[in-house]
Structure 1
């Protein structure tokens, strides 16, 4: 049996009848088997993501791209095709606002050859972090107005121009609209300063302080159109001292934000993580690495937490009382 070659096809555009049938019919006619199909509608915007087996298709890659482009023009939708071996080195875009710690950590990893990808572009909704990008020789583009409101059409143009495979939100303080999220579904990773699902939305550290938590943390997750509810990839936690200020929580959390975002980006780039029913799972080979103390992934706290966690008492069978004399 030949090996499967799973290719991703994404269709985004105005919701209309017949879209799915037209695309699937084109694929069927070219001997392409659909392995997985997911679709959604948000704010009248339609998105369909398919993973199809192109190993034995009855056409060429170039012809398939052209046919899907023509169909997209006919239907008034955007159709994009990603073959599994389009390039050896993948390209990452980093979206930023004003906080530099996550961006700098990603830049350091890439400069050290520790990322297995190229940081192709930094895009901000403010110009503040251009000096960091320039320091590492990475192009910078500001897509925000004076109030930081981004031009998402310009953002999409830049992501397409730089042929981006993954978008990392390095403390990007704006909510991405469906027009962006749908086009990069499963390829946008955000870092949030709380142990999601606790304290979603803005001012998470302040929310944690006001709630009086004793343990706070940070989360890296895939972005969906539901704010801070995408599949969780990795988390880190830290103790909250008595009387800690919001600034103290930020000082403790920011290094962990940078660490957990880098870990999540590495996992994604290595294809070591899969999403199933809204939850992330390590693939088999990656799970073996995770159990290797010399080099595995660290999705949560380290093994020291396992050692400190008691294993008893737990609920077990309860003996029935007996009656009678001793």
Structure 2
């Protein structure tokens, strides 16, 4: 973690668009001695739309003045513009829990990048419904728990997973082949990130790459999104595609597809950790 991280914070803002917002935010930070490092903004319309802003700033003694700064911003600027907002400190490392089944490509990419300091988080543990990946995970020094899930014990299994994951800031489904209940998802609203192939709604069910091969697809890809109660309908964070041809075998498609999945998921998780994503309705604003 860079030394400057202890003095750096991020501000995410959503509000109705109107003149003066940038000036109000900038003046507030200036009068509190902060230096703006970056400022990104987006409005849905030229006039009268919804406004989004991400500001990263540095401030000496940030930990000491955090509460005062937060309260002051809420009482003045945020109240004036009726903002939905959050202030986070870069030095407050987010905790990540991972759920996985048997496919290891997305999981190992996250663990490898985290072990190299390329993901700004603490991976606290991995929960799986299978024993298969225990050795691979524990080599990274991360606890591994198995919670079997069946139709008969789904409620109890999800309660155990929720308890194991308590204290995490975000959960990542690194090819976790179980459908989470709406009750579970509600407890982790917009804090669960999933990855899947981008063939949906085509080729649902088992072995989508073989189905794609048999249909002669020319593009394959992956989608990372927040999990909602509507299956695979949550706000999309990141997507990517690769062109393929008739020369690709099923295994070629699967290998390339898994490569796309791991990269798309990693970007989505990193952007979430870096407070680059704002959810609005069923869409995301991603300041990448």
Question: TM-score, with normalisation over the residues of structure 1?
Answer: 0.58
User: Which structure's CA Rg is the greater one?
Assistant: 1
Offset from partner CA, 1:240-282 (integer Å, 9 cap, x none): 2215333221111111111111000000011101122211112
Aligned to 2:54: none
Aligned to 1:236: 240
Out of 157, 162, 169, the residue aligned to residue 156 of structure 1 is 162
Superposition pairs for residues 124-143 of structure 1, below 5 Å? 124-143=128-147
Offset from partner CA, 1:138-157 (integer Å, 9 cap, x none): 01100115899761111011
Out of 60, 65, 71, the residue aligned to residue 55 of structure 1 is 71
> Highest relative contact order (Cα 8 Å, sep 6+), 1 or 2?
2
State the SS of the aligned residue for 2:71.
coil
Which region of structure 1 is more displaced relative to structure 2, 241-250 or 91-100? 241-250
1:239 positional shift: 2.1
State the SS of the aligned residue for 2:98.
strand
1:176 and 1:203 mapped to 2: Cα distance? 20
Question: TM-score, with normalisation over the residues of structure 2?
Answer: 0.65
Superposed CA RMSD: 3.1
State the SS of the aligned residue for 1:220.
strand
Offset from partner CA, 1:73-118 (integer Å, 9 cap, x none): xxxxxxxxx9956981110001010111111110111111111100
Does 1:205 find its partner at 2:221? no
Aligned to 1:166: 170
Aligned to 2:259: 255
Does 1:101 find its partner at 2:105? yes
Does 1:185 find its partner at 2:189? yes
Cα gap change, 1:225/1:200 in structure 2, threshold over 3 Å: closer, same or farther?
A: farther
Aligned to 2:92: 88
Offset from partner CA, 1:4-61 (integer Å, 9 cap, x none): x99xxxxxxxxxxxxxxxxxxxxxxxxxxxxxxxxxxxxxxxxxxxxxxx72699xxx
1:224 and 1:164 mapped to 2: Cα distance? 18
Does 1:227 find its partner at 2:220? no
Offset from partner CA, 1:147-176 (integer Å, 9 cap, x none): 99761111011011xx11011111111111
Which region of structure 1 is more displaced relative to structure 2, 118-127 or 176-185? 176-185
**Structure 1: gaps of 5 or more residues:** 7-53, 59-81, 287-326
Offset from partner CA, 1:185-207 (integer Å, 9 cap, x none): 11111110125555455543234
Does 1:122 find its partner at 2:91? no
Out of 177, 180, 199, the residue aligned to residue 176 of structure 1 is 180
Q: How many residues align?
A: 211
Aligned to 1:293: none
